């Protein structure tokens, strides 16, 4: 029987407000209409927070609709940030502060707020019809709905209008600056420098633009409001000490950025130019957008007519001697499967990035899930193995992308790189790597005519030669029909098909000898319980295991799997050295089934498919339950 992650059940430390002196991290959630600029507000606040030297993790949580009808609950867009003076690993289980720019935002989010937490409301947005539209029968400010929280009501709309109007902007334009007014206020609350936001606004609007000026004025006014108004003691400014981390130059990075740069870096290390062929799909599109701006890196981007064409064009590019990459999300990956099979059969390098989202079908386009593990490992016709690797955090996408390129080019194989909607959009402080620290793995194209055939293999890696068109004397034909092991010509010979199938599998299995052995992220290499995770659940599992060991003295370890196929060669042995194994993942038990089938381990699952990341408390309570300590 698996454990259910139940967000409503986890209380965490309830009751009185945390005293400011022992705060080592704070979770703030901004929420408003999808047209309120909440994502911009959140990402600018993140930028300021990062520059202040805090550790942080963010969670943009927005609807699939671009501009849902105003004031509706399904149009609410939110951005959560957890920042602290200790290393922050998740965007936080429960917000300490909720900024609700309208009643719908309050409706959707107030239940998740920590008891005793602070709610900041835009009074101006709480007109009777707005309150009704959000689904409150009575004004939540007066009926005790918010009695467990501290409430700070400010007419942010009116304040913004007053300061923005003189710049000669329309009422609508003026009101749209309320996200900046709010940012000003919150920047004051947490003692943030606003320079980076000012620079951002100047870049975006130009120095002389009226809307830009109105926005800057709103930002400053929000800050000044905090300084000059006598807010209640609880809202006095807090200075969060900076976190102690490894020295170096840092920046904020999202998963989509780090992944795109990692692909560029990998191609550079391989000495290859790249063609990224993609079709727009949420939440994968930012990779296409980012790489489209990197033409000077020898990167060609191609917005194909559909997902299939995108994969095919990438394969065509690899066939022609460049690195073909295609990036998509679940529905797109499903469409690409036949083409991926062609790349497997013709043994061409190809990177397939799957930024997973809620499924099945269209599912939850903007929400996160890890339910493409099966399609990544097994989702093709025929026996069609490929390496699959998964990133654990935004910054880790850089490393994983380089590893994907290394494997694809060294073993002449498609590689599936799994990210997810959470990683792609979330940002974290990132120690910027230096390219000189990476060892190049240059590709050598085959040019020797002597004894050439297209399926001539390296005896160690079993990779076939890569001979590109244009090379004299190496003209050859490849295709999806089975090929003769010794010539590459079409072959329907039964024994040959067995041999080729076995060889393709052995080539991929052999990669297990070229990847690190499985380590233990936290804890011992044996004991009572191992919590196994992969992908973006790294943060909550890691923090929960830490907490359970340190605060409750439980014998629990954290194993994080990066290489999903082939699995690290010692993983089976390692799992058997624990009395119990818990697999925590955001799907209905895919890694769980996978590990059971591979190693016959009697693992249990902590499974969650709500479109929301795992919470630390959900993992902690599963650990307690597995170890019988609650």
Partner 1 sequence: MNVTVQPDKLTAKDFASDQEVRWCPGCGDYAILKAMHKSLADMGARPENTVFISGIGCSSRFPYYMATYGFHTIHGRAPAIATGVKLARPELDVWVVTGDGDALSIGGNHLFHALRRNVDLNILLFNNEIYGLTKGQYSPTSRVGQRSPSTPMGSVDSPAEACTYALGCGARFIARGIDVQAKELDVLFRRAREHKGASFVEIIQNCIVYNDAVFESFTAKDVAADMQLHVKHGQPMLYGKDRNKGLRFNPQTFKIETVVVGENGVTEKDILVHDETNRVLASLLVALRPPNAPEVLGVIYCDPAAQSYEVAVKAQEAQAKAKGPGDLDKLMRAGNTWSVT
**Window 226-255: residues binding partner 1 (CB under 8 A):** 245-252
440 binds partner 1 (CB under 8 A): no
Burial class (CB in 10 A: 0-12, 13-18, 19+), 450: exposed
309 binds partner 1 (CB under 8 A): yes
Min CB(373)–partner 1 separation in Å: 25
Tell me which H or E stretch contains 324.
strand 323-328
Burial class (CB in 10 A: 0-12, 13-18, 19+), 379: middle
449 binds partner 1 (CB under 8 A): yes
Q: Which is nearer to partner 1, 84 or 324 (CB)?
A: 324
Cα separation of 592 and 601, whole Å?
A: 9
Pairing of strands 388-390, 563-565: antiparallel
Determine the 3-state secondary structure of 534 from DSSP. Answer: strand
321 binds partner 1 (CB under 8 A): yes
207 binds partner 1 (CB under 8 A): no
333 binds partner 1 (CB under 8 A): no
508 binds partner 1 (CB under 8 A): no
| Phi, psi of 575, deg, nearest 5 | -60, -35
Min CB(530)–partner 1 separation in Å: 33
Pairing of strands 76-84, 55-61: antiparallel
Q: Which residue among 53, 271, 331, 572 contacts partner 1 (CB under 8 A)?
A: 53
Going by C-beta distance under 8 Å and a sequence separation of 6 or more, which residues neighbour residue 268? Answer: 297, 435
Q: Which is nearer to partner 1, 83 or 319 (CB)?
A: 319
First-to-last C-alpha distance (Å) of the chain: 18
476 binds partner 1 (CB under 8 A): yes
14 binds partner 1 (CB under 8 A): no
Q: Which is nearer to partner 1, 284 or 326 (CB)?
A: 326
Structure tokens at 597: 């089938």
Min CB(489)–partner 1 separation in Å: 6
Q: Which residue among 161, 277, 424, 601 contacts partner 1 (CB under 8 A)?
A: 277
Helices 195-205, 178-189: axis angle to 10 degrees equals 160
Determine the 3-state secondary structure of 346 from DSSP. Answer: coil
Q: Which residue among 227, 305, 458, 519 contacts partner 1 (CB under 8 A)?
A: 305
Structure tokens at 342: 């062609």
Q: Which residue among 7, 18, 23, 51 contacts partner 1 (CB under 8 A)?
A: 51
For residue 67, the 8-state DSSP code is S
Cα separation of 256 and 21, whole Å?
A: 36
* 8 A C-beta contact, residue 613 and residue 586: yes
Q: Which is nearer to partner 1, 490 or 600 (CB)?
A: 490
Binding segment for partner 1 among 117-125, 179-187, 475-483, 526-534 (CB under 8 A)? 475-483
Min CB(56)–partner 1 separation in Å: 12
Structure tokens at 628: 């019988």
Q: Which is nearer to partner 1, 264 or 423 (CB)?
A: 264
Cα separation of 162 and 164, whole Å?
A: 6
472 binds partner 1 (CB under 8 A): yes
Q: Which residue among 12, 166, 479, 516 contacts partner 1 (CB under 8 A)?
A: 479
447 binds partner 1 (CB under 8 A): yes
Binding mask 283-302 for partner 1 (x = CB under 8 A): -----------xxxxx-x-x
Min CB(394)–partner 1 separation in Å: 13
* 8 A C-beta contact, residue 465 and residue 326: no
306 binds partner 1 (CB under 8 A): yes
335 binds partner 1 (CB under 8 A): no
With tokens 């490393």, the residue in question is: 399
Pick from 64, 226, 240: nearest CA to 152: 226
Q: Which residue among 126, 319, 565, 578 contacts partner 1 (CB under 8 A)?
A: 319
Q: Which residue among 106, 169, 287, 339 contacts partner 1 (CB under 8 A)?
A: 339
Q: Which is nearer to partner 1, 480 or 527 (CB)?
A: 480
Q: Which is nearer to partner 1, 89 or 483 (CB)?
A: 483
Cα separation of 65 and 616, whole Å?
A: 29
Q: Which is nearer to partner 1, 482 or 579 (CB)?
A: 482
81 binds partner 1 (CB under 8 A): no
Structure tokens at 193: 């420098």
Q: Which is nearer to partner 1, 213 or 483 (CB)?
A: 483
Tell me the number of residues near partner 1 by CB under 8 A. 74
Cα separation of 163 and 181, whole Å?
A: 9
Q: Which residue among 317, 548, 559, 584 contacts partner 1 (CB under 8 A)?
A: 317
21 binds partner 1 (CB under 8 A): no
196 binds partner 1 (CB under 8 A): yes
Going by C-beta distance under 8 Å and a sequence separation of 6 or more, which residues neighbour residue 138? Answer: none
Min CB(245)–partner 1 separation in Å: 6
Pick from 63, 64, 60: nearest CA to 81: 60
Angle in degrees, CA 189, 179, 198, rounded to 5: 75
87 binds partner 1 (CB under 8 A): no
Q: Which is nearer to partner 1, 230 or 246 (CB)?
A: 246
Pick from 617, 622, 630: nearest CA to 94: 617
Q: Which is nearer to partner 1, 1 or 435 (CB)?
A: 435
Binding mask 156-185 for partner 1 (x = CB under 8 A): ------------------------------
Tell me which H or E stretch contains 429.
strand 427-431
Q: Which residue among 7, 224, 308, 463 contacts partner 1 (CB under 8 A)?
A: 308
CA 491 to chain centre: 44
Q: Which residue among 14, 238, 432, 506 contacts partner 1 (CB under 8 A)?
A: 432
Structure tokens at 483: 């090929």
């Amino acid at each position: 029987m698996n454990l259910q992650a139940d967000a409503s059940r986890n209380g965490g430390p309830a009751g009185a407000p945390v005293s400011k002196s022992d705060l080592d991290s704070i979770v703030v959630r901004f929420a408003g209409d999808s047209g309120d600029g909440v994502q911009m507000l959140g990402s600018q606040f993140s930028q300021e927070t990062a520059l202040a030297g805090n550790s942080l993790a963010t969670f943009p949580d927005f609807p699939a609709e671009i501009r849902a009808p105003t004031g509706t609950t399904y149009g609410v867009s939110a951005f959560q940030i957890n920042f602290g003076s200790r290393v922050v690993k998740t965007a936080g289980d429960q917000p300490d502060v909720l900024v609700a720019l309208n009643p719908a935002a309050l409706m959707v989010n107030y239940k998740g707020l920590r008891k005793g937490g602070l709610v900041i409301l835009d009074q101006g947005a709480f007109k009777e019809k707005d309150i009704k539209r959000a689904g409150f029968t009575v004004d939540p400010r007066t009926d005790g709905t918010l009695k467990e929280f501290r409430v700070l009501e400010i007419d942010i709309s009116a304040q913004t209008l007053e300061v923005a109007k003189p710049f000669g902007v329309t009422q609508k334009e003026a009101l749209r600056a309320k996200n900046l007014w709010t940012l000003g206020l919150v920047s004051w609350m947490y003692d943030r420098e606003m320079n980076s936001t000012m620079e951002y606004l100047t870049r975006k609007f130009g120095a002389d633009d009226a809307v830009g000026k109105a926005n800057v004025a709103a930002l400053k006014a929000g800050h000044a409001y905090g300084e000059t108004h006598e807010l209640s003691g609880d809202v006095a400014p807090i200075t969060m000490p900076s976190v102690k981390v490894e020295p170096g130059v840092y920046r904020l990075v999202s998963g989509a950025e780090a992944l795109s740069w990692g692909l560029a870096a990998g191609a550079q290390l391989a000495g290859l130019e790249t063609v990224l062929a993609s079709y727009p799909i949420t939440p994968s599109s930012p990779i296409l957008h980012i790489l489209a701006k990197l033409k000077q890196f020898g990167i060609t981007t191609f917005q194909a007519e559909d997902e299939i064409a995108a994969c095919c064009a990438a394969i065509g590019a690899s066939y022609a001697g460049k690195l073909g990459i295609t990036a998509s999300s679940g529905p797109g990956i499903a469409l690409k499967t036949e083409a991926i099979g062609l790349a497997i059969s013709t043994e061409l390098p190809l990177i397939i990035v799957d930024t997973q989202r809620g499924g099945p079908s269209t599912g939850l386009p903007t929400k996160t899930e890890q339910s493409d593990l099966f399609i990544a490992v097994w989702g093709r016709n025929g026996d069609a193995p490929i390496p699959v690797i998964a990133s654990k955090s935004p910054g880790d996408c850089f490393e994983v992308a380089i590893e994907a390129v290394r494997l694809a080019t060294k073993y002449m194989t498609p590689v599936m790189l799994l990210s997810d909607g959470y990683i792609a959009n979330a940002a974290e402080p990132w120690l910027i790597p230096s390219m000189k620290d990476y060892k190049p793995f240059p590709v050598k194209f085959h040019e020797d005519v002597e004894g050439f055939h297209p399926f001539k293999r390296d005896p160690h890696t079993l990779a076939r030669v890569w001979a590109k068109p244009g090379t004299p004397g190496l003209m050859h034909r490849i295709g999806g029909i089975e090929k003769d092991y010794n010539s590459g010509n079409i072959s329907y010979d039964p024994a040959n098909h067995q041999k080729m199938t076995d060889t393709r599998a052995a080539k991929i299995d052999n990669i297990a000898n070229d990847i690190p052995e499985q380590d233990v992220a936290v804890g011992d290499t044996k004991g009572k319980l191992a919590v196994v995770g992969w992908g973006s659940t790294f943060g909550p599992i890691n923090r929960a295991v830490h907490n359970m060991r340190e605060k409750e003295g439980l014998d629990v370890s954290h194993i994080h799997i990066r290489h999903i196929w082939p699995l690290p060669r010692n993983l089976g042995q390692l799992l058997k050295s624990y009395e119990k194994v818990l697999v925590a993942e955001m799907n209905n038990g895919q890694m769980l089934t996978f590990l059971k089938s591979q190693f016959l381990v009697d693992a249990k699952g902590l499974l969650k498919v709500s479109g929301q990341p795992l919470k630390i408390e959900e993992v902690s309570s599963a650990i307690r339950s597995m170890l019988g300590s609650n």
